């Protein structure tokens, strides 16, 4: 999950890589769907670029999930933990 590494910007975590992989999309395909350069997807996933509100909303619309399911100011808990709880085995 991406985390912002730039010192001047607030930290913004995201689940773009998880959602993209889950849907079997390449960065290029997602970039075309969101109308951005494919490298921008890489920077977003690495947390080295914080999207504008408009791009965040476009991503949420594309994945058909609420925007706070993709971007958060706090680290995300792993999907498996959310789905199956914190227990092991």
Partner 1 sequence: MARIDGLSQRTRRLIAVASLAGLPAMFGWSSFWIKTSAPGLLWGPVSFALILATALGSFVLYTYVRDRANRNANLDERQRRLRDQAWVLCYEVLSAVVIAAVAVISVMVLGFGRTVTLDGAVVGGLAICVGVLIPLLPVAAMAWVEPNAPLEA
Q: Which residues bind partner 1 (CB under 8 A)?
A: 17, 20, 26-27, 35-37, 39-40, 42-43, 45-46, 48-49, 51-52, 54-55
Minimum distance from residue 56 beta carbon to partner 1 (Å): 11
CB–CB of 61/70 below 8 Å? no
Instruction: Concatenate the DSSP letters of all residues of 25-65 into one string.
Output: --HHHHHHHHTS-HHHHHHHHTTSSPPPHHHHHHHHHHHTS
Minimum distance from residue 79 beta carbon to partner 1 (Å): 18
Nearer to partner 1, 26 or 82 (CB): 26
């Amino acid at each position: 999950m991406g985390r912002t590494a730039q010192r001047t910007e607030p930290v913004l975590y995201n689940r773009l890589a998880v959602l993209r992989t889950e849907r079997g999309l390449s960065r290029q395909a997602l970039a075309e769907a969101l109308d951005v350069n494919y490298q921008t997807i890489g920077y977003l996933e690495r947390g080295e670029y914080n999207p504008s509100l408009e791009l965040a909303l476009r991503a949420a619309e594309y994945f058909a999930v609420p925007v706070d399911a993709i971007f958060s100011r706090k680290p995300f808990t792993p999907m498996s933990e959310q789905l199956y709880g914190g227990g092991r085995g």
